[in-house]
Amino acid sequence: MRVILIGFMGAGKTTVGKKLSESLGLCFVDLDERIENETKKKIKDIFAEDGEESFRKIETENLRKVLESQDDFVLSTGGGIVTREENKLLLSHEKNIIYLKAALDTLFLRLKEDENRPLLQAEDRREKMRELFEKRKEKYEAFAGFSIETDGKSISTIVEQCSSFIFSPDRKE
């Protein structure tokens, strides 16, 4: 079984992904971590030295490799995975794509001091996040088979809701 988590930066994809993989007995793959291992560079250095477009190509190639494997896993993707149509095509055969949804205010509180996300190193971080969020929010819904509102919920509740979706008998195939 494969489960793919999508959502904006700070939505909790990595934290939830790890816990979910433990509870399902699956291995956990973090796409950003895989990219850093493959390129032997930090994400922020890829952005700084090679630019966003270059990062996006690497991200798509890594997504392709993970999905082409026959493996079972829980995969946490980067928040920008929805920015490329090619990624949507790659993900179109996956049944368990879950969008971890959070309000912009929640995301901002979590990320206001973050120094590792290159796209947020803007003068007005809140405005930058709002712009990205507006551009992407419908895409998250379009990529995913299921959305979970995460605001105010504990990690274990979110993990349970992911499992309920995955094992729900009447979800669309």
- Can you give the binding site for ligand S3P, defined by CB under 6 A? 9, 13, 32, 43, 78-80, 117-119
CA atoms within 13 A of residue 81's CA, in its CB half-sphere: 34
- Closest contact distance (angstroms) between CB of 170 and ligand S3P is 30
Rounded least distance, CB 6 to ligand S3P, Å: 9
d(CA 69, CA 17): 19
What's the min distance (Å) between Cβ of 153 and ligand S3P? 19
Structure tokens at 44: 């922020």
Measure CA 46 to chain center.
18
Distance CA 98, CA 117 (A): 22
Instruction: Enumerate the β-bridge partners of residue 6.
Output: 99
* Residue 79 or 98 having the CB closest to ligand S3P: 79
Inter-CA distances, 128 with 114, 120, 131, Å: 13, 7, 5
Strand-pairing partners, residue 63, are none
Which residue lies nearer to ligand S3P by CB, 38 or 168?
38
Which of 46/166 has CB closer to ligand S3P?
Answer: 46
- State which residue, 105 or 167, has the beta carbon closest to ligand S3P: 105
How many CB atoms lie under 10 A from the CB of residue 102?
Answer: 22
Q: Residue 117 or residue 126: which is nearer to ligand S3P going by CB?
A: 117
CB of residue 156 vs ligand S3P: minimum separation in angstroms?
21
CB of residue 79 to ligand S3P, shortest distance in Å: 3
